[in-house]
Amino acid sequence: MRFIRSIYLRDEPEAVLLGTVPFGKELTILITHDIDYRHSVPNAVAYAELENQYGIRATYFLQTKYVNDYNDKVFFDPARTTYINSLVKLGMEIGSHSVAHSRQFSRFPTGTGHEAYPGYRPFVTNKKKTSGGSILGELRVSKFLIEQCTDADSVVSFRPGVLSNPFSLPQALEATGYRFSSSVTANKSLTHLPFRLSWGRLGRSETRIFEFPVTIEDEKAPPMDQRLGQALELAEKIASYGGLYNVLIHPNVLEEKMKFLNGFLKEWKDRAWFGTVQDFGHWWAVRSATQMTSKVRGRHRILTLGLPGTIRGLTLTVPEPWKLITAEPETTSVKQTGNTIVIEKAQDTIKIIFQAAEKT
Ligand SMILES: [Zn+2]
């Protein structure tokens, strides 16, 4: 994508680009948390409160653990759903982090698509063995339980335990009503931008599922607060081309990870756009299917955008001399800062009219 962009910019003097970050910000930051341990459930609320103080929304991938096994005791129970409801109240997204959190998830059988609670009982014996699990079961049952037992809206985002990623995950996510996945690292997928997943991850036919790769994670040494400088440096690099920065923090401990998060948010709160996987996912899906045509009418340039859905903060980059005149329909709020155009809210078809520089 960045390669094609550079050719287009080189050869087209009046190039118009769709931005990759909402509201013309420099960087998209997704703060994501995996709740896969008993004590992480109450701890998650402390993270959500911090995020709420910064006015941002984050995504919490929740393991719906209702079987005692090698990994942990049950922690998806009525007492703890109160904490999950607190996250929802603070504006956070609840995604699924599977039922079993098995290291063998990528090798699970597909399943029947009829798996249901409480009959579905995956059991983790140890790091090397899990019985009774299926890919569809992990997706279906966790989504069902979160939607039925908590105040969360429909669950559309998924992250597997230990990023164990089956080849059939894209179509399995599609079949079970998900839209967004965060199942790989940016290093492995060689990109700091979202991408669309293909059937069987074979690169042939596209599914409706978008992937939002993980940029940095907390489990690596040294402790996270000692890696703040390094993390900020990477953010600058990715911001230079409007990329995505997906921070994974397990709320199993507070201290150094909270310190990291606070430092990170403080540094980027004004320059970055923050949202949940779902927020950004919907934005990216509409952006990806947006059609744009540009017409020359004397000194006017008319951009027509065809949008397949509603989008807030769609951003365009126009040639430097273009000056915004007006937009249609009249209710469309469009702002220009330099060569960046931000459309507050748009849907269906909109026209934006510019004045190009006079010929000299
Ligand atoms: Zn996990």
3-state helix, strand, coil in the chain (%, to 5): 30, 30, 40
Distance 113 CA to ligand 1 centre (A): 23
Average pLDDT rounded to a whole number, residues 249-266: 96
Contact 22, 275 (CB under 8 A): yes
In the chain, residues under CATH classification 2.60.40.1180 are 1-24+290-360
* pLDDT for residue 14: 86
Contact 41, 79 (CB under 8 A): no
Find how far residue 121's CA is from the centre of its chain: 29
**Residues in Cβ contact with 244 at an 8 Å cutoff, skipping those fewer than 6 apart:** 20, 27, 28, 30, 186, 192, 193, 194, 212, 213, 215, 238, 280
Check residues 159 and 12 and name the one with the higher pLDDT. 159
Distance 100 CA to ligand 1 centre (A): 10
Distance 317 CA to ligand 1 centre (A): 38
For the stretch 9-53, pLDDT in tens is: 788 788 999 999 999 999 999 999 999 999 999 999 999 999 999
Q: What is the DSSP string of 196-261?
A: EEEGGGSSSSEEEEEE--B-EETTSSS-GGGGHHHHHHHHHHHHTTT-EEEEEE-TT--HHHHHHH
Check residues 203 and 56 and name the one with the higher pLDDT. 56
* pLDDT for residue 358: 67
Average pLDDT rounded to a whole number, residues 246-275: 97
* pLDDT for residue 251: 97
Distance 159 CA to ligand 1 centre (A): 8
Distance 153 CA to ligand 1 centre (A): 21
Distance 292 CA to ligand 1 centre (A): 40
Contact 339, 322 (CB under 8 A): yes
Predicted ipTM of the assembly: 0.99
For the stretch 187-238, pLDDT in tens is: 898 999 999 999 999 988 999 999 999 999 998 889 999 999 999 999 999 9
Q: How far is CA 229 from CA 185, 266, 274, 350, 360, in A?
A: 20, 13, 20, 42, 49
Residue 257 CB burial class (10 angstroms; 0-12, 13-18, ≥19): buried
In the chain, residues under CATH classification 3.20.20.370 are 26-270
Average pLDDT rounded to a whole number, residues 313-318: 96
Distance 35 CA to ligand 1 centre (A): 7
Residue 142 clears pLDDT 60, i.e. is over it = yes
Q: Which CATH number fits domain 26-270: 3.20.20.370, 1.10.10.10, 3.60.15.10, 3.30.1280.10?
A: 3.20.20.370
Pairing of strands 216-217, 206-211: unpaired
Average pLDDT rounded to a whole number, residues 103-127: 98
Residue 180 DSSP one-character state:
E
Distance 267 CA to ligand 1 centre (A): 27
pLDDT averaged over every residue in the chain:
95
Distance 34 CA to ligand 1 centre (A): 5
The CATH homologous superfamily to which domain 1-24+290-360 belongs is Golgi alpha-mannosidase II (2.60.40.1180)
Distance 236 CA to ligand 1 centre (A): 28
Distance 6 CA to ligand 1 centre (A): 38
Distance 160 CA to ligand 1 centre (A): 7
* pLDDT for residue 103: 98
Distance 235 CA to ligand 1 centre (A): 24
* pLDDT for residue 278: 98
Distance 163 CA to ligand 1 centre (A): 8
Distance 248 CA to ligand 1 centre (A): 10
Find how far residue 69's CA is from the centre of its chain: 30
**Residues in Cβ contact with 355 at an 8 Å cutoff, skipping those fewer than 6 apart:** 299, 300, 301, 322, 323, 325
Distance 49 CA to ligand 1 centre (A): 21
